[in-house]
Structure 1
Amino acid sequence: MTDDLFNNSPPAKEDVYSVSDLNREARYLLEENFPAVVVEGELSNIAMPASGHWYFTLKDESAQVRCAMFKGRNQYVKIKPKEGMQIQLKAKLSLYEGRGDYQLIVQSVSPLGEGALRIAFEALKSRLHNEGLFNGDLKLSLPSLPKHIGVITSPTGAAIRDIISVLKRRFPSISVTILPVSVQGRDAAPGMVKAIKLANKKQGCLKDLDVLIIARGGGSLEDLWAFNDEQLARAIFESTLPVVSAVGHEVDFTIADFVADVRAATPSAAAELLSPEQEDFMAIYAAYQTQLSNMLMAKVKQFRQNLNWLKKQIKHPGRRLQEQAQKLDHLEIKMRREFHFYLSQSKNSVKELTHGLIQYSPISLIREQQQNNRYLSASLQKASLKSLKNARFKLADLSRALNNLSPLNILSRGYSMTYDVNNKLITQVASIKTGDTLRTRLHQGEVVSSVNYVRDPLNKTSTSE
């Protein structure tokens, strides 16, 4: 090996293939070294173009292979191939050079009966039905107006685009959270089970979820097979959130459709099922607005009535002033009492301090303390007198205000008030006539008189006996 590393001689020339040459050689190897084979499996992905050739996939539970049956051969086949059909075919192994795809060139086809996937579907459907997973009494009701919808689907598929489009058109205020999963293949069912359990935990941005939609577009039985998974069916059944199944087209049925609380024919139908028409909702809102307005107007009317009643309960200003004056007198008496009590305590404290100073302190300290006590006593007395003086001034102001508002004070300036026999105050000439007996209130005393002559300055008319 060491010699080869340091050998400077040029290497031998290797064969170099183009892609076309490589695929051609691989096809020759397959066709020349494998005899015709007989294979059993399930039909899927059938395509019949205008050329008359058939292209399809033959599969079992764990593998699949592409197949081609040309027009010269398929014209002798007596059956019409269908999705899910279990068949047996005779073919030769080959390779499609254009794509490098390994395929079978089919020579003959014979049916084996109903497809294995269809049989498994019916068996699981029957077993789950017997266990009660399809029981309508156990299904959850959908919210009348969901605020937050969780959608378990492929984030790039047509289903989510249809759902979002419908919700934006009908009721755009509904929040939508996409729980992205694969909707086809081996990992699809476990991914959807995990998404359902995550949504039911209601954590983070999912804490206010109201309902779930499980959706994907249409396809063959094998394309939709993930929605026939038993674990997925049990996860839907155990969900505490209502689940709407919107898988495939109207003619497509899966196990998920039977277990879900509601089945929608398409993803768009699921979105319409969960969203009210915005115009209908706005009409209801307008009705509520009118009802609220009427209730508020009735409440305002009631408050006005209460206010009028309270106005009638208000006390006369004179009486209120009397009560305030009495309250002020009471406060003055209380203040004087507190002042004398405080002054007495202060004097006692001064005596005790003086006694203590005489007994324990130097004479200079005693004199300084006595001077301070005299100053505090004078300040306290001055402050108390000032407070009392301010209170008296306030009382005088209130008395003057009461006197100015008193009707008796107005009468003292030469005015009078005249009443009829019903003790009703007369404010205009039109309310009296000749011969009426009137009572006039003066500043001091009353005058009772009889009307002999009435003159109305507005109508410029007069009446007399």
Structure 2
Amino acid sequence: MRAIADTLAARFNPVTVRGEISGFSRAASGHCYFSLKDDTGQVRCALFRRSADQLDFAPRDGQVVEALGKLDVYGPRGDLQLIVDSLKPAGQGALFEQFLRLKARLEAEGLFDAARKRPLPAQPRSIGVVTSLGAAALRDVVTALRRRVPHVPVVIYPAAVQGAQAPAELCAALQSAYRRHATTGESEVLLLVRGGGSLEDLWSFNDETLVRTVAQSPMPVVCGVGHETDFTLADFVADLRAPTPTAAAELCAPAREVRVGELAYLQERLSEAVLGGIDQRAQRLDRLGQRLGRPSVRVHDSRQQLTGLQHRLRGALLLAAQRADSRLQGLQSLMPQALRRAVAQHTQRLQRCESALGHLDPQLVLERGYTYLTDTQGLAITRCSQTQPGQSVRARLADGELELTVNR
């Protein structure tokens, strides 16, 4: 291996490599490890602490850089690696440029507008978590929720969080949560979480279909993907971004101690309000008692007032009776004269009616020589057209009736 390393060093070093950073990490020793890749391949790189401390920028996944260093072979694994002496930015990288273009387009559509953001429920009755069943993020979230709100049920909607199948599975898990929320009210708030990683590892959360699916959520969504410095498009469309999965759990589940403190404060206020209300009513009762005085005195005064009213009532009734008697006597004295006058008037009217009725008596007409003809049924005959030859008729005369037969 040493001979191979010496041959590489003699023929190629120093070298300049341009590529996109992938899998960047910084160890506790201060050394940095990553890969540089392009369309044709990739090479492992090591940036030791002395060179890393001289950088004037913070390398990140997806960033295109130019690295100056020496090719070497890492003996324990036999891997080719580049020992980087200096590093400088050379561009944003294809993935990051794609990220920026999609972000700009979705932002222009209004998917990231602050007006779309909804507040989290103060005390959710159930919490949903969309993540991988094997993810460390799930353990962190469940641990935080058990510590802060052990009484709140947690519903897991499993999905892959990395790889080609992850976007479709994440969308399916979200849609399942939406349907169950619509039918049963399950999961009043939804956590979309996973741990940190490279830009490629988190790329599923930049998928356009996933972003639009998050935007359709009927309940608030908290996105806790990666570490504090990691940003995905799912963070921008969610109602709230959390720097870590644990922080996402803490944001939607206030600590039990906080709720207990709030309840204690409300209990104190309620006690003060109740005691204040009792004091006010006691004072009002005292005032009413002073106005009421001794009941016996009020009863005595009421009895005197009642006696006075009774005397007044008797006097009024006696006076009314006297007035009625006087008026009755006056009417009695006037009644005979009025009665005689009324009888005389009715007698005269009756005589006039009898005279008028007498003039209309049919008998008087018959006495003057007229005859009243009827058919056998007693119907009056007033026209010749009402008869026919041979018909029997009756003639009423002044002194009786005749049976007649019509000849023609």
Paired with 1:79 and 1:285, the residues of 2 have a C-alpha distance of 51
CA deviations 1:307-347 (Å, max 9, x no partner) are: xxxxxxxxxxxxxxxxxxxxxxxxxxxxxxxxxxxxxxxxx
One-letter amino acid of the counterpart of residue 83, structure 1: R
Map 1:52-451 to 2 at 5 A: 55-60=33-38, 64-68=42-46, 82-84=59-61, 85-89=63-67, 96-101=74-79, 103-104=81-82, 111-202=89-180, 208-278=186-256, 280=259, 283=263
Q: Is the 8 A contact 1:199 1:206 kept in 2?
A: no
One-letter amino acid of the counterpart of residue 236, structure 1: V
One-letter amino acid of the counterpart of residue 60, structure 2: E
CA deviations 1:140-195 (Å, max 9, x no partner) are: 44333322222112333332223222222222121112233333344433332222
| Aligned CA distance change for structure 1 residues 247 and 53 (closer, same or farther; 3 Å) | closer
Deviation at 1:114, TM superposition (A): 3.0
CA deviations 1:52-108 (Å, max 9, x no partner) are: 875321135896442246799x69x98656114312457787754423545456687
Identify the residue that residue 331 of structure 1 maps to in structure 2.
none
Unaligned runs of at least 5 residues, structure 2:
275-408
| Aligned CA distance change for structure 1 residues 93 and 269 (closer, same or farther; 3 Å) | closer
**What's the secondary structure of 2:20's corresponding residue?**
strand
Paired with 1:232 and 1:117, the residues of 2 have a C-alpha distance of 17
Paired with 1:52 and 1:137, the residues of 2 have a C-alpha distance of 43
| Aligned CA distance change for structure 1 residues 284 and 79 (closer, same or farther; 3 Å) | closer
**What's the secondary structure of 2:161's corresponding residue?**
coil
Deviates more, 1:91-100 or 1:268-277: 91-100
Identify the residue that residue 290 of structure 2 maps to in structure 1.
none
Q: Is the 8 A contact 1:65 1:103 kept in 2?
A: yes
**What's the secondary structure of 1:202's corresponding residue?**
helix
| Aligned CA distance change for structure 1 residues 273 and 62 (closer, same or farther; 3 Å) | farther
Paired with 1:107 and 1:141, the residues of 2 have a C-alpha distance of 49
Paired with 2:202 and 2:105, the residues of 1 have a C-alpha distance of 19
**What's the secondary structure of 1:213's corresponding residue?**
strand
Deviation at 1:128, TM superposition (A): 0.8
| Aligned CA distance change for structure 1 residues 55 and 145 (closer, same or farther; 3 Å) | closer
Paired with 1:194 and 1:141, the residues of 2 have a C-alpha distance of 24
| Aligned CA distance change for structure 1 residues 81 and 240 (closer, same or farther; 3 Å) | closer
Indicate the percent of aligned positions where both proteins have the same amino acid: 45
| Aligned CA distance change for structure 1 residues 81 and 61 (closer, same or farther; 3 Å) | farther
Deviation at 1:284, TM superposition (A): 7.9
Q: Is the 8 A contact 2:181 2:187 kept in 1?
A: no
Q: Is the 8 A contact 2:181 2:188 kept in 1?
A: no
Deviation at 1:271, TM superposition (A): 1.9
Paired with 1:238 and 1:184, the residues of 2 have a C-alpha distance of 22
Q: Is the 8 A contact 1:246 1:265 kept in 2?
A: yes
TM-score w.r.t. the length of structure 1 is 0.46
Paired with 1:54 and 1:277, the residues of 2 have a C-alpha distance of 38
Q: Is the 8 A contact 1:41 1:87 kept in 2?
A: yes
| Aligned CA distance change for structure 1 residues 127 and 60 (closer, same or farther; 3 Å) | farther
| Aligned CA distance change for structure 1 residues 205 and 153 (closer, same or farther; 3 Å) | farther
Paired with 1:179 and 1:261, the residues of 2 have a C-alpha distance of 19
| Aligned CA distance change for structure 1 residues 63 and 211 (closer, same or farther; 3 Å) | farther
| Aligned CA distance change for structure 1 residues 285 and 133 (closer, same or farther; 3 Å) | same
Paired with 1:65 and 1:241, the residues of 2 have a C-alpha distance of 45
| Aligned CA distance change for structure 1 residues 161 and 44 (closer, same or farther; 3 Å) | same
CA deviations 1:36-55 (Å, max 9, x no partner) are: 88753212334566988753
Paired with 1:71 and 1:138, the residues of 2 have a C-alpha distance of 45
Please report the RMSD computed on the Cα atoms of aligned residues, expressed in angstroms: 4.6
**What's the secondary structure of 1:252's corresponding residue?**
coil
Deviation at 1:109, TM superposition (A): 5.4
**What's the secondary structure of 2:169's corresponding residue?**
helix
Identify the residue that residue 43 of structure 1 maps to in structure 2.
21
| Aligned CA distance change for structure 1 residues 180 and 64 (closer, same or farther; 3 Å) | farther
One-letter amino acid of the counterpart of residue 231, structure 2: F
Q: Is the 8 A contact 2:20 2:93 kept in 1?
A: yes
Which has more radius of gyration? Answer: 2
Deviates more, 1:190-199 or 1:255-264: 190-199
| Aligned CA distance change for structure 1 residues 286 and 132 (closer, same or farther; 3 Å) | closer
One-letter amino acid of the counterpart of residue 270, structure 1: A
Paired with 1:71 and 1:143, the residues of 2 have a C-alpha distance of 46
| Aligned CA distance change for structure 1 residues 97 and 260 (closer, same or farther; 3 Å) | same
Deviation at 1:111, TM superposition (A): 3.7
Q: Is the 8 A contact 1:43 1:81 kept in 2?
A: no
One-letter amino acid of the counterpart of residue 225, structure 2: V
**What's the secondary structure of 1:208's corresponding residue?**
coil
TM-score w.r.t. the length of structure 2 is 0.51
How many residue pairs align between the two structures?
266
**What's the secondary structure of 1:166's corresponding residue?**
helix
